[in-house]
Structure 1
Amino acid sequence: MDTPKSQKLEIIIPAYRMHSQSFFNALDGITEEMALERNNGQTNHVVWMAGNFVNCRYWMANLLGMDEKDPNDEFFTEAKALDEKLDYPTLEMLFQNFKDISPKVYKKLLEATDEQLLKAFSFGMNVPFVEENVLNIIGMCIGREDYLLGQIGLMRKLLGLKGMSYEINNKIDY
């Protein structure tokens, strides 16, 4: 395992890497057609879930000082609600965005300093027990990714697929 410069990320790094593995596993076998299905018209579709996951990665990139722009930001910024009138990107496009941004963010996470992580950053939630800084927003992004993986996992079952695998692909090193 790579060692982060900041000990504050010793929990985040393994979670980030496991989420990278899980992203591929959760979407395995989901076709483009399936990815746009909504259970009884009530759920978000998998493309929306995957797009929000990728958007979290771009958000983390920006928090860590990278000048990276999510090419699909208009659909997913700030967890924008699903809009059935929009033509969302394909799952394949989202995979490509994920593969592009994820290793870059991983590298930046390893390089992040305590000073950078503790920098004040307002995210407007005004939660009295959460200090608004870069580290806590990254933690919230990891939590959001957990949530989205859970949604995709449930949708797998609703789409008639088996549950998500926890198989590890050693070629994914981020």
Structure 2
Amino acid sequence: MDTPKSKKLEIIIPAFRGHSQSFLMVLDGISEEDALKRIEGRTNHIVWMVGNFLDMRYAMGGILGLNEEFPYKDLFFQGKALDENLKYPTLQQLKEEFHKISPLVYQKLLEVSDEELEKAFPMGMNIDFFPETVLSFIGMCIGREDYLSGQIGLMRRILGYEGMKYDFDKDLKY
């Protein structure tokens, strides 16, 4: 495993890499058509979930100093509600964005210092047990990725796909 500059990220690094793996595995075999299906008009579709996952990756990159812009930000920024009147990118386009941003964010996670992680990052939550710092924001993004992967896994089963296989790609280094 790569060693981060900050000891505070020793749990984040394996989580980030694990999420990269589960992201690809949970999407394995999902058709473009099924990725746009909603259940009884009440759920978000998989494309929306994937877009939100990527919004988290781009948000982490931004707070860590990357200047990469998510081309579909207007559709997904901060969990923007699904709008059936909009045209969403394909699952393939989103997967390409995943492979573009993920190694860049991973490298930044390895390089960030404790001092940078301790910087204030106001989120407007005003919760006394939740310090509004860069580190807390990264933790929130990681948590959101977990949530979205679980949602996609549930949609996968509802749509009639087999459960996710845990065929880890040892060559994926982010």
Task: Give distance in 1, aligned partners of 2:76 and 2:127.
Answer: 23
Q: Does 1:3 align with 2:3?
A: yes
Match of 2:37? 37
The Cα shift of 1:124 comes to 1.5
Task: Give distance in 1, aligned partners of 2:19 and 2:130.
Answer: 23
What is the correspondence of 1:3-152 to structure 2 with a 5 Å cutoff?
3-152=3-152
The one-letter code sitting in structure 2 at the alignment partner of 1:168 is F
1:74-114 deviation digits (Å, cap 9, x = unpaired): 00001101111110011011001000000000000000000
- Residue 132 of structure 1: SS of its match in structure 2? coil
Runs of 4+, deviation exceeding 2 Å: none
The Cα shift of 1:171 comes to 1.5
Q: What is the TM-score with the length of structure 1 in the denominator? A: 0.99
The Cα shift of 1:165 comes to 1.6
Identical-pair percentage: 60
The one-letter code sitting in structure 1 at the alignment partner of 2:145 is E
The one-letter code sitting in structure 2 at the alignment partner of 1:126 is N
The one-letter code sitting in structure 1 at the alignment partner of 2:79 is A
Gaps of 5+ in 1: none
Q: What is the TM-score with the length of structure 2 in the denominator? A: 0.99
Aligned residues: 174
Task: Give distance in 2, aligned partners of 1:119 and 1:158.
Answer: 42
Task: Give distance in 1, aligned partners of 2:28 and 2:127.
Answer: 36
1:18-46 deviation digits (Å, cap 9, x = unpaired): 00000100100101000000011111000
Task: Give distance in 2, aligned partners of 1:61 and 1:126.
Answer: 24
The Cα shift of 1:127 comes to 1.6
Match of 1:163? 163
The Cα shift of 1:125 comes to 1.5
Task: Give distance in 1, aligned partners of 2:157 and 2:78.
Answer: 27
